Structure formats: structure tokens, C-alpha cells
Structure 1
């Protein structure tokens, strides 16, 4: 009978309170509070930017992505080629979050911060397992590091934070497994201490830990494949613990290497097929020379995080010049020296710098990636490398404090100062993310040649209806990059809003040549044809687009616009109903459905639909106006007056809107038998009519001439 057979495992908890008691007893109050402190510091560090608007590709990847709004999108993400990357776990999380939060950007960012902080807590555990001094400080310094701000406030970078948390969990589980293996190996040497350790950890859970680690790692790869270097890091940790490798250690990492290889190949296929980087190549010599440049750049930003930019200048590395290879030579020299002195000071340097280089290897330019069109480096690309730097700094400081007792108090004070400084710098840096335009103004302050910054600044100005500024910035972006379909689409949108339909049409055609899977570009092009008196061409383009993307709610919505214009109200109603099924969160589509229900004689359903739409988008004056018209027309003047009063309370800064509102309100009051009040409303209507002769602000809302609203917003 085995010695461990008499040990009775504890009974599982039977209630929530018992589970909490078990967690508290196993972990301890101190660790729980320190873990919660990491979460709190992570949130504090990005607080000014946590409720900001969308950044960069948040729109196309999430908020305008038809697969996100498709009821079956959570399944389609696993089998589609119409995404920039194959990250189905991240995309499925987006799909779920969209149904939970909608356009509540604060909630999206809280989730990002949650995964970021959770990974930092796992990092703390990993550093403790590796017996690195000041483990909590190393994790906390990462959690609040200014370089991590971009990732945590950029909603689309959930792929970074989610894969990071899963990556660290897989790493932690493997180290637990490795500790059991080491304890069993010691048991075979018949030492009482190791026998006790083995009994505590338990043999039975060893392979459970191993299998769970592999499973979590596969999930991390499916969230983002930049975590592919985990098996190399696992071997590095084995060397750190035991100073050598055995064949068993290598065999245990084989499943991890296989998973990394498969997902790495899939990612390369997606990147090579990316339309944005076709024709843009870098020679192999330039790529290898650039590795040293990027590693030293990232280490420099980790040490002195200023300035931190959304897009850094794109270097031109002259690989034919001898001096271009100096950064590579310097990096190789440091690693070689650390290996030579690996029994002394070189051991922690080799662990930290080697791990830093290994985990960043997928983004150091050796493999083709789409971000090259902007820059060779980015804060979000080095996100996984920052923990190695912070762990090294904390470990060296903690080690010195443990060795020299007189340094303990100064070390604690210095650690507090550094942590406070990092929180302050991150807090200050995150303020630029409170307004999307500020992100690009800050970038252009240091990087004047960034076409991406000009393009995104132009989009922010377009959304603010600053058309002159938007055209200037988009034209500048076009001069800097004449091959971007995104710039063409944004220019087309600007011309469309300014009613220059021929120019808008040409820009949308150019955008679709660069990437035909652009539902908003197809819809906007159809709208141009409609305004140019060519509805048959609009319908042809829409049917072609729906054949490629039948799950695009925006294309079905635009189809309803064109069919309504042609007088095919029944078919238009079918199209907009299908659009709502694909995206039930779009209140504008519900307004259009209400209008079409009314046109087809289903006015009871129309009134109910108007009411539902207003619940989803309160304060939308066009919706109140349309609802009031329908109520008045079908014998509900009191309810119509209430809707018109809501518009008046909104204080819409448009004489034309107020003219229409007061005119209709006068008719409603007259029908209710209030002639004096009706006369007052007519007098107000005439006053606004007279004001129409004066110039109106360019940003004033327009009167809802048509209840159908085409999707012209980016």
C-alpha cells in the first residue's frame, strides 16, 4: 500500500460561503488584498482615458463588423477568411461583449483592464514560483507601466490582454506541473523532505495540470498568436530552476511546439493574404538587421517611456551599411557575455533579456505583418515583453535588498516612488485617449510623416463635421500613401457628406479595388448611384455585395433604402426586417421599419416599432418627429403633441427643424381644439422661417426630409 493512500482528500465546498472560506484559507488575506491592489492600480493608471471614444480599427473590427452583429457570427469566426487574422477566441469574445455592452465603451475597456490585471496577478504567481525577489513589485510595475496604456484603452486590443491572461495561466500551470515532477524526482532519491512535498502537491493532479496547461495555451493562441514562444520560455524556466535540460523536459514541450507551429502557419497565411501589405516587402537582410534596432528601441521605451505614440516613425534600415548591424552585434555581445557568466551575474540577465527577445520574436520583423505599412515598432507589439523588464528591475532591487540588510528601507521607499511615478506617467499619458482626435494630434506632434495619423485625424474631424480640416488631413494622408483603400473610403465619405457624388463614387470604387469586402463602401457607393439617378446600378452593386457578404446588416439596410426610393415598399420592408434580425441593436433600422410598416398599411405595428426605436435611441429628434407625424395621422393628437414637446426640450440648434416642429405642433393643437395655443406655435414657426434667410451654422442638424437614413457614417 502506498504511503499516500491513507490521506483523505478534503470534502468539496457545498456553498458559496464555504467556497470563499476555502479560498481565503488557501490563499490568505494578504495575497487577496495584494491581488485586488493590482486590479485597482491598473484601473487608476488609465482612468482619464477609460471612457473615451473609438480608436483606429475599433470600428471595422468590432462596431461595424457584420460578423459581430450576425446571430451566427460566433460560429462563423471559426471558418471564415474575411477577417484580418485568425483569432476566433478574441472575435467570439467581441461577439459576446457586443450583446452585453453595445456602444458602452467604458464597459469594453473595463473588460480589457480586467484581463490585463488578471494576467499581472498570474505573473506575480509565476515570479514567486521561479523564486524571483520582489515578485509582487515586478507584477505591479507591469500592470501600471505606461507602455501598457495603449493596449488597455484600445478596445480592439482585447486580443492582447485576453491572450496575455491565458498565456500567463498556461505558464503558471506548467510551472506547477514541473514542480510536481521535480518533487517526484526527489522522492526517488528517498529524502523525507521531498516525500512530504510530494504528498502535499499530490501525484494525482500532475497530468491534469499538464493537460490543462496545453489546453489553455491553445486558447491563448486562438486569442492571438504572438504567444507562440511559450514553449521556449518553458524550457528557459526549466534551465533557470535546474541549470540543465533533460530529454523528458524537451519531450513535454513537444505538444506546445506543435500548437505554436500550426497556429503560426495559419497566422502567416492570413497576413500574407492581407490586401493592405501586398506589394510592400522588406529584404531578409533588412529584417535581420532590424531585430537589434527594435529590441533596443523597446528596452529604451521601457526604461524611459517618452514620448509614447500611437504610430512611431517608420525607419529605413540600410542593411548594406556596416553601421546598420551595430544594434544586432551589441545585442549578441550582451547575450554572449551573460551566457559566459551564467553562474553569476549573467544568469538573471540571460533569463530576462533572453525571455524578452524570445517572446517578442514574432513581432521583430522576421515574419511579414500588416503593421509594417505604418511602422516597424508599436507599444502594443511589445506588450508581452514589458513583464520581463519589470521583473528584472524588481528582482535585482529585491535581491540587493535581501543581501544587504541596510538597503531594505531605502529599497522599499524607492520601490514606492517608482511605482507611484509609473502610475502618474500612465495616468497623464492616458488622458490623450479621452478624445480620439487628441491621440492623432499627439502622434503628429512627434511624427510628422505618418499617413496613418493624418488619416485617423481626418476621420475624427469627419465625425465632428469639420469637413475642411478633414479634407486637408485626408489629402495629406493620400500624398503620403497613394495605395491605401482606407484613405479612399474616408475621402469618399467626406465627398458624400458634401454631396459631391461623382467624386465620392470614384473614391469608393478605388477603395473597393483595394478590398472588395467593405460593406460600408459598397453601401455608400450604392447611395451615390441613387443620388445620381442610377438606382439600377445601386441595386446591382448591393446584390453583388450581399452575395459575398449575406450576413451584412448594413448592406440589407441600404438595400431597403434603394427599394423604398423605387417605391417597392414591401420588398424594402423585407430587407430592413432582415437587417434588424442581423443587427437588432440598430435603432435607425427600427425607425425605417416603422416608416415602411406605415407605408404598407400596418400602422398599428408601425406605432409600436416607433416606440421601441425611441426606447433604444432616446433624444433622436428625427425619430420623435416621425413618430409624432404617424401619431397625428392616425388619430392620436395628444401623444403627437408629447413627442413634439420632447423635440422642443432638446433645443435643436436648427431654424429649419424648429420651423417644421412648431408648424406640426400648431396643426396638432388646432385639431385638439386649442386655437390660441395653435396661433402661438404658428407665430414661432414664422419666426424660425424668417431666421432661415440668415446663414446657418455648418454643424446644424438637417430637417428629416426622408425617414430612411442611409449609412453614411464610418
Structure 2
């Protein structure tokens, strides 16, 4: 039995053998009487077979073990028999004999000198190591610090037998295999999905991935406004393998997500969570529908890769911080630092909060603040330094590439806190109710969103206070731990980083809920599993049933969410319906419809995108191509030119050539409009300067009064009507028959709403110089205001005869026709005005109003009215309450009363800001109609025949 006890491995306390362990150089004693086991061995005879185990030698009362399981030579006291007195002298090693001779039974008389076996000089060997052998398991069965990264032990003969290693590996496969399978199963639809927002930018022809020196530029520049060279390097390598196709990119995203689920399981086990709880939490992370969009988004590679490295860093650090033996494994600390550096180079925002996550893990493993000291914080100093460098780099990138305001929340800390507060609410809602998730999300309108954002952040602070006060309880500890992880990986990047992350990703659903959702999942699953464990004898059955039901419920939702990614039209239609104010959704819906050869349906979302974001070059290009196919040449030319101006790389030379050919076939289109003295518009009207049409007449007949006339016109442009009147009056005193002076003076009285004096001077100018077109137009406007529609139409007709490209005359003729009751002829003149000038806001508004509010149903067309009204609002910058009200009426005619109310309320705000009492009252009446889901209809008018030029 003594031999069997000597062959035992290390016990749970870390001591390889029992008390009495000494090195070979330990002090010995005098020879003693042999023990009882030695006597029994001697009685068996010299040919007896030695017992199994390490070779054994004896020196007095010491037994020397030549080969122990750890390859070291140690010796211990003889477990049986008398030991005798010890004289402190050194004993030398002796060579082990393969079959030691049997000893005689102890007798009263000592053996004779010649009967003793000859003593051989032992061979001296090197001094054995004093380090204690590393324990393979701690008392709770956790793997030692030197074990494999994923927790399974290698095939080392001096640690485990091959059979034990194979069993450990099999247990790891049995646990991690289903996690990998569930993650891949839930994301199969995402593997074959198309490109989402910003994916085309990354994989397109203008991307850095296609540049010859792309591998160099990604290390010295910031792509997509973010310095993440590791993420871009992997994409660059993938681009060499997969090209522009998206399947390979999606596959790697899914594999990274699946491995991250396994790493989460190992991290939770290192945090001493029960095995079933850790596995169920990792399984929920693998299949949760909230992560379908981030995993299926190629542009979110940095987030997926950064989360993978972050979990790896936490696992490495836990292996370093929780040693099983007496010594720490410094290699794990270096691995953790390397993983943190990779996080900062893959997703800088994620690396900011990683040191706080590590501190939370250290606090959790020590079960409270009582054993958590400042030295534990000092161990993370390297990680805090890396985070500080990351923040400095992010600020530098922000100043080098300022972000666009995609959602209109403004700049500064107010906007950042607002986004952070709403993001907390969105994340919590999506994690608990994933069926309502959207690819993009919007923020509430008005100043109320700022207060709500602050309120939500205050709620987060209250949660921390509650968790801190209850930290002595199990629920309080779990709540505090989850709070720290959530703040570090979900809120801190939005608050600490510059405006780029807030503005660009504030609308992206699932962007920060991917790492932040880990805390919510672990907290909820842990609390539920802990509650089920109190079910008594049926606890295992209840917890297992809960896990099965949860997984079976989440997998179909995840698959259905992934199927939406396969149909871009359905995906972006859903986005535009739930978030109508996000221009990205309308732009990509138009792109998806154009790619599906549904050009007719693409026009409306593209117009909406251009309306919300006039700087969307892609929407301008697609809209120009769509209008070209419909035959609207001038409008197509406008949008194609806008796309070329905003982004020259999107220039479509084929469409431009086709457009020029069609314009030549149609008679080369209308002539370009002159611009006299660079006067472009009149304040508040959006009309061209009427005097500009008669530039040639002014140049020819100004004569000696040219300087005075130019000064008077400049005063008109600046709004100094009294000064312009005085200058023109001075010219008339010198030359009473000056047609140009009468023209300028009449125009001055027209702007001052002095109709009688204006008619007098304008009639004089028309008679003195019949070549002037401006007086005819202004006289027509005065007659239109007096409801003399027939005379007004005649005057407008004369102006059109003199200047065929006067769009204002066409518009005013249409207004006279419509008020006279001839809607058909009015629509013809509105269309003619738009042919002459496709960006004429008043003509667009008039045509939209006719199609939206005409009392006769045969003239109404809500869809066309929305297109025209949105175009008008886009061109005037949404600064006119009249165009906004027309848009509201168009929405109501089409049945979109929710949008109608929003547009009407904006029109009301503009009217109140302008102190327009009459317009305010009219808008309020229409709002009441829209609340009742009723459109607005103009009262019918009697038909009045008017002359048509």
C-alpha cells in the first residue's frame, strides 16, 4: 500500500506528495531498522517481481523515487517501521537496481560486515527544480491557467493521458458544436443576401479596395471616416479572393459571429456561471434576431471583428487574472494586450470601453468590493493607455473627415446625448422584442427628443444607483456587472467619441446593440435560469425546457429577418414605411427598383430622397435616368447635371449622350434665359427678374442715362424702392418720353403695390417701346389681381409673343385660366412653364395644387401631385409655407393623412414665424380636416371664357 500511495499524482491542494517531501539534498539520518514492508519483500525471495511504479532505492529510513509522474527525483520518509535517530549528514544518490535483492528479516544480531552487499558510488545528477508542479485543475474543476485557449487540454503525457485529453476534447465539441450550428442556421439567409447601405461604397469601383496601392493607403488613411486598418486589410484580402460578390463577405461575418458565441460561453464559464446558464446565454447570442442585420451587413465587418477580438481579450485576461497555481501565466497577459490592440485597430470605438469590462470581470470574480483593490486597476493600466491613444486617433480622424448630418439632430454634445439616450431605449426594446427591429431607425421630431434623451440617460444613472446599493445581493451584483458592460460597449462610444460616430451610425439599427446586447442577454438569461433552479426536484427539467422553448422561438424570427435581407425592395420598402424621414431608405429603395427594372415605381422614392437630401448624388443620377426613360428631358437634364456636380465619379456619359440626342430631335429645347445685371430672383417669390428679359433693349436704348438706369435697377434688387423711384423720376424730368425710365418707375410702383401709378407708367413704356415684354407681363399681373382674367390673358399672351421663354407669363396665364374655370387649359400652361424652366417652384406648386385640390375628380391625381409638391419643397428649401401646405394637400389626396398632418404642421410653423395671420388660419382649418382623414377640396368656380394667345 505504501508503494501505491507513493505513485499518486498531485492532490487538490497543489502539493505533489504528502508531508515529508524533500529534495535529494535534504538532510538524512542514521541507518534504521528496515520497515515491515521491506521485510515482507525480503521474505518473497530474490527473484520476486518488483511492484509497479517508479524505481525505488532506500537509504536508511528514506525511500528514493527515481521516476515520479512529473519526471523528478524526490524521496520521502519510510511510511512504516522505526526511523531511528537522525544524525544530520548528507547522503549521496545511489543507482537504482532493476530488481533489488531480498533482505532478511530483522534479527537481534547485526549482520556481519562481509554479509552486507557492496556499496556502489552513486552517479551524481543535476539538482532538481524547487518549483512545484502546475496543477491541472482547481478545486472547482476549472482548467488551469496553462490549458488550451478554448479550455480543452492538450495531449501531454506529463499532464493527462491521451484518453483524458480525448474526453476533454469531446466534451468541448459537444458543447461548442451546437453553438456553431445554431449560429450558422440562424444566419443562412444572411449569407446569400445582397448589399446594404454603404456596402456599395466599400466594394464599388471607387473604393480603396480597388486601388493599386490600397494595401498601403488603408494603413495611412481613414476609410469611411474611421481608422480601422485591420478590418480594411481583411476586406482587401477578401476582395482579392471574392471580388465584388457579397457571398464570401457574408460567410466570414457569420463564421466570426459563430466563434464569438463559443468565446462568450468560455468567458462566462471562467466567470463561474453555471454550465447550463453560460451555454444558454451563448446560444441566445448566437441566434438572437437583433444581430441579424449587423452580421448580414458587410460594412459592419469592423464591429463583428472587434467583438470577436474583445471577447478573446477578456478570455485571455481572465486566464491571467485567475491562476490556478501559485504563479500567473504572463503569456496570457501579453495575449490579452495583443487582442486589445487588434480591437482598437478593428473598431476603435469598441476598444474604449474594454478596460472597464476587464475591471468588471475582476470585480465579479472577487465577489464584491471587499477584495477589489487599487492594484487590480493598476494591472489594466496598459489597456487604459491603448484606449487613450484610440480616443486621440478618433478625434484626429474626426477633424480630418468631418461627418455629414444624416439625421438632422445637429452637432455638439446635445445631439450626442440625445442619440445616446434614444439608443439605450432602442437597444432595450429590440433585445426584449426583436420582431420589431428595422435596418434603420429614426428619431422623434422637435425639441422634445432632447429632453427624452436626457431622461433616458438619467434612467441609466438610476439603474446604477440601485445596483450599487444592492451590490451585496446576487441580483444587485448581476445588475451592476451588466450595467458596467452595457455602458462600456454601448453608451460610451456614442458619448465619448466625436460627432462622426453619432451622426453616421445614429440611424443604424443594431450598430451598438451587437456588443451592448451581450450584457442584456447574460443578465436576463442568468436571472431566469437562477429562478428556475429554485423549482425543487424539477429544476433541471424546467430549465432545460425553458432553454429549448427560447431557442425554438428565436430561430424562426431570426430566419424571417434574414429572408428580408434577400429582397432589397421589400427591405427598403419596410424601412421607408417605418422611417419616412431617412433619405437613405428612399434612395436605396429607388436603386433596388431600378435594378429590378421597375423604373416607374422608382421615381417617387427617388424624388423623396432628393427632397430630404439635396446632396444625394446617387438619387439625382437615378432620378435623371428614370425621367429620361419617361421622356421628361428637361427634368432629366437637371438631375443629371446635379449628380455630376455633387459627385463627378457618378457621371453617366451614356445617359448624357442620349439626352442630347433627344433634345436635338425635339428642336434643341428652349433658349437659355438672359440675366440682366446678374439679378437672379426677387425676394420671396422664386421668380426671375422681369427686367432681365429686356436686357438687349436696355443695352441698345439706354443712351446717356445708362449709368442712372443701372443704379436704379441695383436699388430695386436691394429693395431700396424709394431710391430707385427717385433715380427714375430724375431721368423722366430730363427725358419725359424715355420708355426705359417709365418701365423702371412703373416696376417700382408695382413692387410697392401702388397699382394705379404702376399701370400709368407701364402703359406709357409699352406705347413708347413696343419691343419691351416686361410691361405687358406686369400689366397682366395687375389685371389678374383685379380678376379681369380676359384682359390679363391678353397681356400675358403679348409678353409670350415677345419673349417665348418667359416662364412667368405661362404660369400667370395658367392661373388666370384656372380661376376662370378652365382647368384643362390651365394645366397646359403650367406644363409649358415647366418645359421652359423645370425648376420653376411656383409652376410646380400651382400644378400640384390643381391635381390635389380641384373639385372635379377627373383632374385630381394624388401621386403626381406628391411628386410635384415634393420637388417644389426641395427647390425652395422648405422655407415657404405655401409649398408645404400644397404638399400636405397632396398627401391627403393620396390617403397619407399622417404625412399630411406632419407637412401641414410644418407649414403652420412657417406661417406663424412670418406673422401671416390669414395663412395661419387657413392652415389650421386644413389640419382639422386632415385629422378627420378628409382631403381638402377647393370650391367650384364658374367657367369664364378667356382669350388664349
Shared fold (TM-score greater than 0.5)?
Answer: yes
Give the Cα separation in 2 of the matches to 1:223 and 1:323.
33
Give the Cα separation in 2 of the matches to 1:463 and 1:392.
44
Q: What does the per-residue CA deviation read over 1:167-201, in whole Å, with 9 as the maximum and x for residues that have no partner?
A: 11111111111112xxxxxxxxxxxxxxxx316xx
Give the Cα separation in 1 of the matches to 2:417 and 2:224.
29
Which residue of 1 is the match for residue 378 of structure 2? 251
Q: 1:148 aligns with which of 256, 281, 291?
A: 291
How much does 1:360 deviate?
0.7
* Cα separation, partners in 2 of 1:168 and 1:498, compared to 1, 3 Å: farther
Give the Cα separation in 2 of the matches to 1:440 and 1:468.
17
How much does 1:283 deviate?
4.4
TM-score with structure 2 setting the length: 0.49
How much does 1:154 deviate?
1.6
* Cα separation, partners in 2 of 1:281 and 1:447, compared to 1, 3 Å: closer
Q: 1:311 aligns with which of 424, 440, 445?
A: 440
* Cα separation, partners in 2 of 1:289 and 1:502, compared to 1, 3 Å: closer
Which residue of 2 is the match for residue 265 of structure 1? 392
Is it true that 1:231 corresponds to 2:372 in the alignment? no
Q: What does the per-residue CA deviation read over 1:314-333, in whole Å, with 9 as the maximum and x for residues that have no partner?
A: 22463698666432332222
Note the 1:70-81 alignment, pairs <5 A: 70-81=211-222
Contact 1:478 1:487 in 2 (8 A): yes
Is it true that 1:331 corresponds to 2:457 in the alignment? no
* Cα separation, partners in 2 of 1:431 and 1:315, compared to 1, 3 Å: same
Q: What does the per-residue CA deviation read over 1:139-175, in whole Å, with 9 as the maximum and x for residues that have no partner?
A: 1101100000001112222222111111111111111
Is it true that 1:212 corresponds to 2:335 in the alignment? yes
SS of residue paired to 2:209: helix
SS of residue paired to 2:166: helix
Q: What does the per-residue CA deviation read over 1:537-571, in whole Å, with 9 as the maximum and x for residues that have no partner?
A: xxxxxxxxxxxxxxxxxxxxxxxxxxxxxxxxxxx
Q: 1:382 aligns with which of 509, 513, 538?
A: 513
Give the Cα separation in 1 of the matches to 2:621 and 2:403.
15
Contact 2:417 2:453 in 1 (8 A): no
How much does 1:84 deviate?
2.9
Which residue of 1 is the match for residue 177 of structure 2? 36
Q: Which runs of 5+ in 2 are unaligned?
A: 1-127, 136-145, 662-949
* Cα separation, partners in 2 of 1:73 and 1:339, compared to 1, 3 Å: same
Equivalences, count: 506
How much does 1:393 deviate?
1.9
SS of residue paired to 2:219: coil
Larger Rg: 2
Q: What does the per-residue CA deviation read over 1:100-129, in whole Å, with 9 as the maximum and x for residues that have no partner?
A: 222443322111100011111111111111
Q: What does the per-residue CA deviation read over 1:504-539, in whole Å, with 9 as the maximum and x for residues that have no partner?
A: 67546645655x6x6x42x53698479859xxxxxx
TM-score with structure 1 setting the length: 0.64
Is it true that 1:276 corresponds to 2:404 in the alignment? yes
Q: What does the per-residue CA deviation read over 1:641-694, in whole Å, with 9 as the maximum and x for residues that have no partner?
A: xxxxxxxxxxxxxxxxxxxxxxxxxxxxxxxxxxxxxxxxxxxxxxxxxxxxxx
Which residue of 1 is the match for residue 852 of structure 2? none
Give the Cα separation in 2 of the matches to 1:79 and 1:527.
37
Which residue of 2 is the match for residue 52 of structure 1? 193
How much does 1:343 deviate?
0.4
Which residue of 2 is the match for residue 480 of structure 1? 612
* Cα separation, partners in 2 of 1:334 and 1:90, compared to 1, 3 Å: same
Give the Cα separation in 2 of the matches to 1:10 and 1:327.
44
Note the 1:138-537 alignment, pairs <5 A: 138-180=281-323, 197-198=324-325, 203=328, 206-228=329-351, 229-242=353-366, 243-244=368-369, 245-272=372-399, 273-274=401-402, 276-277=404-405, 281-316=410-445, 318=447, 325-344=454-473, 345-364=475-494, 367-369=498-500, 372=503, 375-376=506-507, 378-405=509-536, 406-492=538-624, 494=626, 507=639, 510-511=642-643, 514=646, 520-521=649-650, 523-524=651-652, 528=656
SS of residue paired to 1:378: coil
Give the Cα separation in 1 of the matches to 2:161 and 2:237.
28
Give the Cα separation in 1 of the matches to 2:147 and 2:200.
50
SS of residue paired to 1:4: coil
Note the 1:5-24 alignment, pairs <5 A: none
How much does 1:220 deviate?
1.6
Contact 1:167 1:217 in 2 (8 A): yes
SS of residue paired to 1:356: helix
Give the Cα separation in 2 of the matches to 1:267 and 1:501.
46
* Cα separation, partners in 2 of 1:506 and 1:91, compared to 1, 3 Å: farther
Give the Cα separation in 2 of the matches to 1:527 and 1:23.
71
Contact 1:48 1:431 in 2 (8 A): yes
* Cα separation, partners in 2 of 1:257 and 1:323, compared to 1, 3 Å: closer
SS of residue paired to 2:264: helix
SS of residue paired to 2:358: helix
Q: Which moved more, 1:274-283 or 1:376-385?
A: 274-283
SS of residue paired to 1:54: coil
* Cα separation, partners in 2 of 1:82 and 1:121, compared to 1, 3 Å: closer
Contact 1:290 1:317 in 2 (8 A): no
Higher helix proportion (structure 1 or 2): 1
How much does 1:264 deviate?
2.5
* Cα separation, partners in 2 of 1:285 and 1:76, compared to 1, 3 Å: closer
How much does 1:449 deviate?
2.9
* Cα separation, partners in 2 of 1:89 and 1:491, compared to 1, 3 Å: farther
Which residue of 2 is the match for residue 88 of structure 1? 229
How much does 1:500 deviate?
7.9
How much does 1:423 deviate?
0.9
Contact 1:315 1:376 in 2 (8 A): no
Q: Which structure would you say has the larger RCO, counting Cα contacts within 8 Å and 6 or more residues apart?
A: 1
How much does 1:2 deviate?
5.4
Give the Cα separation in 2 of the matches to 1:501 and 1:135.
64
* Cα separation, partners in 2 of 1:505 and 1:264, compared to 1, 3 Å: farther
How much does 1:294 deviate?
2.3
Q: What does the per-residue CA deviation read over 1:478-521, in whole Å, with 9 as the maximum and x for residues that have no partner?
A: 1122233443344355567779888667546645655x6x6x42
Give the Cα separation in 2 of the matches to 1:75 and 1:252.
35
How much does 1:352 deviate?
1.0
How much does 1:54 deviate?
1.6
Give the Cα separation in 1 of the matches to 2:161 and 2:638.
63
Give the Cα separation in 2 of the matches to 1:256 and 1:59.
35
Give the Cα separation in 1 of the matches to 2:226 and 2:249.
21
Which residue of 1 is the match for residue 894 of structure 2? none
How much does 1:267 deviate?
2.7
* Cα separation, partners in 2 of 1:110 and 1:456, compared to 1, 3 Å: same
Contact 2:222 2:228 in 1 (8 A): no
Give the Cα separation in 2 of the matches to 1:267 and 1:526.
41
Give the Cα separation in 2 of the matches to 1:39 and 1:136.
12
Contact 2:609 2:616 in 1 (8 A): no
Give the Cα separation in 2 of the matches to 1:463 and 1:23.
58
How much does 1:417 deviate?
0.2
Contact 1:374 1:452 in 2 (8 A): no
